[in-house]
Structure 1
Amino acid sequence: MSGLAPNAAQPVEIQLHQLSKVLEIAFDDGARFELPCEYLRVHSPSAEVRGHGVGQEKLQTGKKHVGIVALEPMGHYALKITFDDGHDSGLYSWTYLYELGAKRDQYWQQYLDKLAAAGASRE
């Protein structure tokens, strides 16, 4: 990972807002991020999404209305997220969640650009 989160950055609050489909996460260094379910789903750290190496990523389409049905802490290092489309194989480390929050605008725009280039849709 990029090392954006200080080594000690740990979540102090995690809230799932079902209606707005947003996961809100606050870290002990004062950072607070609102991460839409769709954003988390299309940036899943799973091999199903990322592939097994550079260039093997699989563009996720049609995830605009995806929601989260379960959150399960994995030890003191990660969160397992189960989405309502059945996807549940990615473990989101605290560092990765911090990175997704800190770089949300950049990563989201890259995703939209990839969709456009592929002629694909969020719907």
Structure 2
Amino acid sequence: MWIAVDRVGKKFINCSFGSRGTETGQLLWEKLEKKEIGEVMTDHWRAYAAFLPETIHTQSKAETYTVEGYNSILRHFLARLRRKTKCYTKSLEMLKYSVLLLMKYRNRELTIFHASSVK
């Protein structure tokens, strides 16, 4: 799973599911093409160089703290993403829905109704 986050607005932007290779990263980059992007911060994973424009791309492990924090949030709330767990994803489609639902909730784009608030 590849995710893109907004460091300034502190929000999930989008995600893409697949291998750690260039193809999955390219899919995510295509989803972001219509967004106004100032800078892209990544670690030194080779796949990034294949599709990210050099003019806006900075490779530095010191600059990936925001996305690493969001990876931690995903692992915290979704047991299927934790290491060494009995929970695992049997369906890629359900994993996608779980991640997208959590992203929308964390971005405050989703309202959760509690049974006590329904009259």
Q: TM-score range, shorter-chain basis?
A: under 0.3
Higher relative contact order (CA 8 A, sep 6+): 1
Which is greater in Rg?
A: 2
Counting strand residues as a fraction of each chain, which structure ranks higher?
1
